Amino acid sequence: MIERFKRWFSVDFMLPVNDRLGPVGTTRELYSKYLKIAWPATLQGLMLQVMTAIDLAMVGALGASALASVGIMGQPEMVILLVCRALSIAITAIIARRHGEGDIDGMNAVLKQSILLNFLIYIPLLLLSFLNVEPILRFTGAEDSYIETAVWYGRFIVISLLFQSFSQVVGAALIGYGNTKVIFKANVVGNILNTILNFFLIYGIGFFPELGVMGAGVSTMISSAVIALLLLRTISQSMPDGLTLLHPSKWRFERTVLHTMYYVGGSSLGEQFFERFGMYTYTMIVASLGAVPLAAHYVCMNLMDIFYYFAMGLGFAGASHTGQSLGHKRPDIARAYASIGARIG
């Protein structure tokens, strides 16, 4: 029984000799390469959830209405990021493919055009959202008892989304390139800073003002900006064969790049739209029950996200290795990495 189980995990079972197009590494080598990308992405998510749990404890000390003020903004925030998340999936796939092909110019052109496209979409979208935070939260189900604090918190979150969307796009490019450690380190720094600022700004420690729920929003905005700056520094370094803004590739939009982004990201956008529609409706129903049920819902949903981040880390590794393998003209190894991800999951 044990031997049969071990065989199921082996590369010989996942990729028989007759299906191979060339040399394939050992089972240990393939799993090691997969986990090298997966574990920083997974730890990044888990670190984020630990920090979120600390945020919940700090805001929760102010009462159920304070938690509801934070929780009601969760779904509008995710809806705003829909386009960015779909775009990120396309960016990871395209850059991984071009990196595998050794197309350094094409890889960096995708990075630059993705950043430009992201700003063109999100600057007007976030401006519109900032000016309409209260109607958005009222539509989501916010009550009069906490709408004022929710609006103040929401405004700072909307500002932070400009930095978060940039980080998402750059992070997706780095994942496609295979560098998830940088993303992990940037998020560790940002989330530790977020927790420290929360402590001082929510409760008014020392010479800091006591801002309550608004302090949590300010902390999120500042930490999001720091993460974005750290990632910007990473892609601003001179690397002749790496992922960098200093490469002499085009900022001007290219039809082939935009078409590929639309082709890959379009289906993801549709998938995420219907997922978010369900979650948004769910939150509206819970919000109609009052502040205490909404606060409890928000806590439980954040705890559930802990499990999601394990799958997210595996997904990042799968997207990176699959794209690079296809770029190397090795669809057989791409299939093997897909099987490895499923088995680890």
Q: Which pLDDT band, with edges at 50, 70 and 90, does 48 fall under?
A: low
Residue 51: pLDDT band by 50, 70, 90 thresholds? low
- Rounded Cα distance between 151 and 137, Å, is 7
The pLDDT of residue 74:
82
For residues 200-229, give the mean pLDDT.
89
Entry pTM: 0.84
Scanning the chain, the segments in alpha helix (DSSP H) are 2-9, 11-14, 27-60, 64-71, 74-80, 82-101, 104-131, 133-140, 147-177, 181-203, 213-235, 255-287, 291-327, 331-344
Alpha-carbon span 265 to 236, nearest angstrom = 26
Determine what percent of the chain is predicted with pLDDT higher than 90.
Answer: 18
pLDDT at 52: 67
Q: What is the C-alpha separation between 139 and 273, in angstroms, rounded?
A: 18
Q: Which pLDDT score, from 0 to 100, does residue 218 have?
A: 92
pLDDT tens, 178-207?
Answer: 887 888 889 889 888 988 998 899 888 878
**pLDDT band, residue 284 (cuts 50/70/90):** confident
Return the percentage of the chain with pLDDT > 70, whole number.
98
Residue with more model confidence, 229 or 38? 229
Q: Is the pLDDT of residue 231 over 90?
A: yes
- String of b and e for 172-206 (b: at least 16 CB within 10 Å)? bbbbbbbbbbbbbbbbbebbebbbebbebbbbeee
- Give me the mean pLDDT over the 215-240 stretch: 90
> Is 241's pLDDT higher than 80?
no
Residue with tokens 């009052």: 290
Mean model confidence pLDDT for the chain: 85
Round to whole Å and give the CA distance between 156 and 69.
Answer: 13
> pLDDT at residue 11 above 90?
no
